[in-house]
């Protein structure tokens, strides 16, 4: 290892974490209410809870990102005042956040080095690069050390976040939904690696997740938060997903939603609504990201685009919705050549939900109401003779907040104060409120709890059932298999395989995704 030697060797090994009566308020709202969590050293501890239950707030208090008003944080039974993330890091606590914290202008290698903190005055790049290359060999991820974060897909950025923490050899590692944008195979690899490190006594892991499969397969213990309170704690092998789901939502009835597949209406597929013909799009580094891609989506069908992140999906989605220049090729909606202008989107009812909606589809400092009104603020009834009608916008927002179950302290709250899942719901409320005819979605349930996943999947299915055309770009094969009528696999910027979803074979799809099938 090339890190400078510490004067006093740091203690190593897995930490025990206890929170005692932790209470955190935002104004009059209590986000954490006397939470006493117990994480045994050398274990993987899953933290479950619906969107807005307080999971992120709890761990942010442990890593010094937020300060609790009451209660205490204990490491190995000793109370610590963790006032800042730097204090947490020095105590051996690492955190992989739900949002990305990589520095955009720096390469993967620079980001990794920066994460290590305590850098020497002069960096011996040759040595550092060699050390990083060695380190990369010990992880399941392969990332180009010279790439910049703008060139990385959400999945790759997530991997970089995890790598940054692994490099620090934390004694307690907290991960806030680390697998949301990973393929099932990647998720298994990373969770397997983390569990092995925990069981070897190197670290303890706190894993915030919405996936019961991950809890049963990888966690030793599980705690459930509901509305800011810790409502249950179990050894994983002494509980069931049904019991956990019921504890999360506070009632048996709702818990069944997770296990309900979306209702697919029997219907003939109509004419081609969205046609992509030989589309070529460049990536951020000028490389060809989408290399002559063609795909059609018909009325009344969902076409799923599968693929390992970084195979041009992000650039494809951006080019479709007008956020990236198309080098050549054509996109048609119905009988019209489609340039994704605001007027066209409105007239042709083309709607989209990009990944990372807080960054890509919202103005964080603006209110929930204004964000919901972003598509319609300049058309009647919200605007009359050029005047925006705030009250109309707010009333409409309030109605949609209710309809889409957005948990917010009111339509005037800043959208960035909402939990991740609720931002997603707010954007969906905006995009789906007026019968979309063409819907382009990327990783739509990233970070959502099971009830929200089921609900949003049904909403996407409803667009299809009503005769809309849905293009669903997702790195989650289970999601694609559950929703799609057809699945196209994207690899190297092209569609390399297309199949009827009902006859699709997971392994075969996986082989095309990995580039090993012909």
Ligand X SMILES: Nc1ncnc2c1ncn2[C@@H]1O[C@H](COP(=O)(O)OP(=O)(O)OP(=O)(O)O)[C@@H](O)[C@H]1O
Residues that bind ligand X (CB under 6 A): 26, 31, 49, 51-57, 407, 417-421, 447, 449
Using alpha carbons only, what angle is made at residue 107 by residues 310 and 191, rounded to the nearest 5 degrees?
55
How would you class 505 by CB atoms within 10 Å of its CB: exposed for 0-12, middle for 13-18, buried for 19 or more? exposed
Q: Which is nearer to ligand X, 51 or 111 (CB)?
A: 51
Q: Which is nearer to ligand X, 159 or 425 (CB)?
A: 425
> Which residue, 53 or 350, is less far from ligand X as judged by CB?
53
Reference 50, options 227, 185, 190, 183; nearest CA is 227
Whether residue 94 contacts residue 174, with contact meaning beta carbons closer than 8 Å, is answered with: yes
Nearest to 426, CA basis, from 457, 403, 443? 403
Nearer to ligand X, 338 or 450 (CB): 450
Mapped onto helix, strand or coil, the DSSP state of residue 391 is helix
Q: Least distance (Å) from ligand X to the CB of residue 344?
A: 33
* Shorter beta-carbon distance to ligand X: residue 409 or 506: 409
CB of 28 to ligand X, least distance (A): 11
Q: How far is the CB of 343 from ligand X (least distance, A)?
A: 34
Q: Quick one: 52 or 510, whose CB is closer to ligand X?
A: 52
Q: Which residue, 393, 384, 342, 385, is CA-closest to 366? A: 393
* DSSP-assigned beta bridge partners for residue 39: 17
- In degrees, to the nearest 5, what angle opens at C-alpha 233 toward C-alphas 231 and 237? 140
Least separation in angstroms between residue 53's CB and ligand X is 4
Which is nearest to 45 in space by CA: 266, 205, 169, 245? 205
We find the least distance from the C-beta atom of residue 204 to ligand X, in angstroms, to be 20
The nearest distance, CB 449 to ligand X, in angstroms, is 6
- Name the residue nearer to ligand X (CB basis): 30 or 243: 30
Residue 361 phi, psi (nearest 5)? -135, 10
d(CA 423, CA 277): 33
Distance CA 163, CA 255 (A): 35
Surface-to-core class of residue 325, CB atoms within 10 Å of its CB (0-12 exposed, 13-18 middle, 19+ buried): exposed
Per the structure block, which two tokens stand in for 137? 């060999």
Nearer to ligand X, 131 or 233 (CB): 233
Residue 208 C-beta: closest distance to ligand X, Å: 7
Closer CB to ligand X, residue 93 or residue 418? 418
Going by C-alpha positions, the residue among 26, 13, 59, 1 that lies closest to residue 416 is 26
CB of 253 to ligand X, least distance (A): 21
Residue number with CB closer to ligand X (48 or 167): 48
Distance CA 190, CA 75 (A): 25
Which residues make Cβ contacts (< 8 Å) with residue 430, sequence separation at least 6?
Answer: 371, 372, 373, 374, 375, 400
Q: Spell out the residues 6+ positions from residue 488 whose beta carbon is closer than 8 angstroms to its own.
A: 295, 303, 304, 305, 306, 495, 497, 498
Q: How far is the CB of 32 from ligand X (least distance, A)?
A: 8
Closer CB to ligand X, 24 or 89, in the complex = 24
Query: What is the torsional sign of CA 470, 476, 482, 487?
Result: positive
CB of 172 to ligand X, least distance (A): 18
CB of 74 to ligand X, least distance (A): 21
């Amino acid at each position: 290892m090339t890190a400078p030697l510490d004067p006093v060797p740091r203690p190593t090994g897995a930490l025990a974490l206890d929170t005692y009566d932790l209470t955190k308020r935002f104004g009059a709202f209590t986000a954490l209410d006397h939470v006493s969590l117990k994480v045994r050293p050398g274990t993987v501890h899953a933290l479950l809870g619906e969107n807005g239950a307080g999971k992120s707030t709890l761990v942010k208090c442990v890593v010094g990102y937020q300060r609790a008003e009451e209660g205490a944080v204990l490491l190995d039974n000793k109370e610590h005042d963790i006032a800042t993330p730097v204090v947490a890091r020095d105590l051996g606590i690492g955190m992989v956040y739900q949002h990305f914290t990589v520095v955009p202008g720096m390469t993967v290698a620079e980001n990794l080095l920066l994460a290590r903190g305590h850098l020497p005055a002069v960096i011996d790049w040759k040595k550092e690069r060699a050390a990083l290359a060695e380190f990369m060999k010990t992880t399941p991820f392969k990332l180009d050390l010279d790439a910049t974060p703008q060139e990385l897909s959400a999945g790759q950025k997530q991997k970089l976040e995890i790598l940054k923490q692994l490099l620090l050899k934390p004694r307690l590692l907290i991960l806030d939904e680390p697998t949301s944008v990973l393929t099932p195979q990647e998720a298994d690899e990373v969770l397997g690696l983390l569990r092995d490190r925990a069981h070897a006594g190197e670290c303890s892991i706190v894993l915030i997740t919405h996936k019961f499969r991950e809890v049963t397969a990888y966690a030793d213990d599980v705690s459930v938060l509901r509305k800011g309170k810790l409502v249950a704690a179990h050894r994983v092998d002494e509980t069931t997903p049904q019991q956990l789901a019921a504890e999360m939502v506070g009632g048996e009835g709702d818990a069944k939603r997770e296990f309900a597949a979306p209702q697919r209406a029997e219907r003939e597929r109509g004419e081609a609504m969205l046609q992509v013909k030989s589309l070529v799009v460049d990536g951020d580094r000028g490389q060809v990201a989408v290399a002559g891609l063609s795909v059609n989506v018909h009325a009344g069908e969902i076409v799923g685009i599968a693929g390992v992140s970084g195979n041009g999906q992000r650039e494809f989605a951006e080019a479709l919705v007008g956020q990236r220049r198309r080098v050549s090729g054509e996109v048609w909606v119905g009988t019209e050549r489609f340039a994704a202008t605001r007027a066209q989107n409105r007239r042709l009812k083309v709607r989209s939900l990009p990944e990372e909606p807080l960054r890509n589809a919202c103005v964080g400092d603006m209110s929930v109401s204004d964000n919901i009104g972003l598509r319609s603020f300049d058309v009647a009834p919200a605007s009359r003779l050029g005047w925006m009608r705030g009250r109309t916008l707010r009333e409409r927002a309030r109605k949609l907040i209710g309809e889409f179950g957005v948990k917010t302290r009111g339509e005037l709250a800043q959208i960035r104060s909402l939990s991740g899942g609720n931002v997603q719901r707010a954007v969906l409320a905006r995009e789906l409120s007026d019968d979309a005819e063409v819907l382009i979605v990327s990783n739509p349930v990233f970070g959502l709890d099971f009830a929200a996943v089921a609900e949003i999947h049904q909403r996407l299915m409803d667009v299809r059932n009503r005769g809309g055309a849905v293009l669903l770009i997702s790195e989650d094969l289970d999601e694609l298999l559950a929703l799609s009528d057809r699945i196209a696999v994207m690899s190297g910027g092209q569609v390399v395989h297309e199949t009827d979803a009902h006859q699709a074979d997971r392994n075969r799809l996986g082989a095309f995704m990995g580039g090993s099938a012909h």
